């Protein structure tokens, strides 16, 4: 089992903490100088970067939330002038506007290297042929894995998402050895192969790197046995860097966080208090090396826990458990982040009033489905079927363009959706992850 960056990945804890402190202080000095949003937040709390003299002092600093990114849309959180930014990505926002993130040349290099680390840990080397079945475009997933593979020296096939039969054909003909996709898409591929009568064992596939959505150990066993590969999980989010925050080694006992680049904390999502090591809570990340888009205490909303015990692979970095859920109402559907509020906005725009609606998320085979049930009101009741159909089509089209994920829209009887006291339970998630 080789290690890409042993100097950093196997650094003794004491040295790592010294390096983290140095980089944290330098990063705070930079954001305080260059990013108005951070400067104002620090001033509100009456603190300056010099107040941070140890890693424990991190808890004195303000959190950064998705809302901050939205308020500073598009470039307000950048710490360098735009002319030094060589790449812009974005991710879905909670309400309409997406969030924008930027990378300098150096950031892209660092990013590639971080991805190369977890890809190496997963078993990829320069002899591999890596098929990337993530969507290219504004999402960070495909590009991150693409650069990581190139840095390792593997051969990259930038397939993009979808078109399963072509994926399988290329997998056979180009002798793909490593598959990069969402875990659910890996199952789709396995199912399609069965239908086509192709034995996965006859392929050259040996490893799968799956991310973008939460998945269970049961699903890992299913993918591993059906495709005959070693499947590993990796974690990242575009607000922080994209893939490359953490990834599993072959011990498959948690994802190693690249601690020289990110400081990880676990907090109580309700009180914001830092929790002791080992507790389950919300993951908060602080970037240590990023130039264009530094992050101070970003609330990921992902629920997990951190394990500081030594891993058998030799890496000394802390491991995070597979994410166990969210501390907000975000849904991950086919690897795309979806907020109920986005759907609400679309319905409001179409109808002009707040409808009663319910979201039903399910998994058919391995693919997620989203159904939106809307209660019929006077405004959207049509005598003619044709008008009714046109209305539904219109809603579906808009949902698709806003979310980037298709949904089925259905009308239901008035008052058939249960009204909950206080916060309406708008989401029914029937997937068993």
Partner 1 sequence: MLKIKNINAYYGKVHALKNVSLHLNRGEIVTLIGANGAGKTTLLNTLSAIIPTASGEMVLEGKNIAGLAADRVVSLGLSQVPEGRQVFNPLTVEENLELGAYLRYRMGGQRQEISEDLERMFQMFPRLKERRRQAAGTLSGGEQQMLAIGRALMARPKLLLLDEPSMGLAPLVVQDIFKVIRMLREEEGTSILLVEQNARAALKVADRGYVLETGKVILEGKATELLENKDVQRAYLGRDKKEIWER
Kindly list the residues in this chain that would bind partner 1 in the complex (CB under 8 A): 15, 18-19, 21-23, 25-26, 29-30, 33, 49-50, 52-53, 80, 84, 104-106, 109, 289, 291
Q: How many helices (H) and strands (E) does the chain have?
A: 11, 20
Min dist CB 80 to partner 1, Å, is 7
Min dist CB 126 to partner 1, Å, is 22
Min dist CB 289 to partner 1, Å, is 8
Report the phi/psi class of residue 162: left, alpha or beta, with left for phi > 0 and alpha for psi in -120 to 50: left
**Strand ranges inside 32-177, DSSP E:** 85-91, 99-104, 129-132, 155-157
Min dist CB 109 to partner 1, Å, is 8
Which is nearer to partner 1, 261 or 320 (by Cβ)?
A: 261
Report the phi/psi class of residue 175: left, alpha or beta, with left for phi > 0 and alpha for psi in -120 to 50: left
Which is nearer to partner 1, 43 or 105 (by Cβ)?
A: 105
Which is nearer to partner 1, 80 or 121 (by Cβ)?
A: 80
Select from 399, 334, 339 the least CA-distant residue to 372: 399
- The answer to whether the beta carbons of residues 223 and 206 sit under 8 Å apart is no
The tokens for 308 are 């500081």
Length of the chain: 433
Min dist CB 246 to partner 1, Å, is 22
Which is nearer to partner 1, 248 or 291 (by Cβ)?
A: 291
Which is nearer to partner 1, 22 or 194 (by Cβ)?
A: 22
Q: What Rg do the C-alpha atoms of the chain give, in angstroms? A: 23
Query: Quick one: which H or E segment has residue 115?
Result: helix 105-122
Which is nearer to partner 1, 25 or 388 (by Cβ)?
A: 25
Query: Quick one: which H or E segment has residue 235?
Result: strand 230-237
Min dist CB 208 to partner 1, Å, is 32
């Amino acid at each position: 089992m080789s290690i890409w960056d042993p100097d950093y990945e196997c650094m003794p804890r004491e040295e790592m903490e010294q390096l983290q402190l140095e980089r944290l202080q330098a990063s705070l000095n930079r954001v305080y100088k260059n990013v108005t949003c951070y400067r104002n937040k620090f001033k509100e709390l009456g603190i300056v970067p010099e107040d941070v003299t140890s890693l424990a002092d991190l808890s004195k600093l303000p959190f950064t939330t998705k809302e901050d990114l939205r308020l500073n849309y598009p470039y307000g959180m950048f710490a360098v002038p735009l002319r030094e930014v060589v790449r812009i990505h974005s991710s879905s926002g909670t309400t309409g506007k997406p969030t924008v993130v930027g990378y300098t040349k150096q950031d892209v290099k660092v990013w590639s290297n971080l991805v190369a680390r977890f890809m190496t840990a997963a078993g990829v080397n320069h002899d591999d042929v890596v098929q990337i079945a993530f969507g290219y475009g504004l999402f960070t997933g495909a590009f991150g894995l693409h650069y990581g593979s190139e840095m390792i020296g593997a051969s990259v096939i930038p397939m993009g998402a979808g078109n399963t039969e072509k994926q399988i054909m290329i997998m056979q003909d180009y002798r793909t050895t490593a598959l990069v996709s969402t875990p659910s898409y890996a199952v789709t591929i396995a199912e399609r192969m069965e239908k086509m009568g192709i034995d996965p064992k006859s392929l050259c596939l040996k490893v799968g790197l799956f991310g973008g959505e939460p998945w269970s150990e049961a699903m890992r066993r299913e993918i591993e046995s059906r495709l005959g590969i070693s499947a590993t999980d990796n974690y990242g989010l575009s607000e922080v860097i994209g893939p490359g925050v953490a990834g599993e080694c072959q011990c498959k006992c948690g994802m190693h966080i690249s601690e020289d680049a990110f400081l990880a904390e676990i907090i109580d999502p309700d009180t914001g208090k830092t929790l002791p090591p080992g507790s389950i809570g919300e993951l908060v990340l602080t970037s240590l090396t990023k130039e264009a888009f530094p992050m101070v205490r970003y609330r990921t909303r992902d629920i997990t826990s951190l394990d500081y015990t030594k891993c058998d692979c030799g890496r000394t970095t802390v491991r995070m458990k597979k994410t166990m859920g969210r501390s907000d109402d975000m849904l991950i559907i086919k690897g795309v982040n979806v907020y109920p509020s986005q759907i609400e906005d679309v319905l409001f725009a179409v109808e002009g009033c707040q409808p009663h609606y319910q979201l039903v998320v399910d998994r058919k085979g391995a693919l997620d489905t989203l159904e939106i049930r809307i209660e019929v009101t006077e405004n959207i009741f049509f005598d003619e079927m044709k008008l009714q159909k046109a209305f539904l089509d219109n809603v579906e089209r808009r949902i698709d363009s806003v979310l980037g994920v298709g949904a089925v829209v259905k009308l239901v009887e008035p008052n058939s959706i249960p009204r909950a006291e206080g916060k309406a339970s708008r989401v029914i998630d029937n997937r068993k992850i």
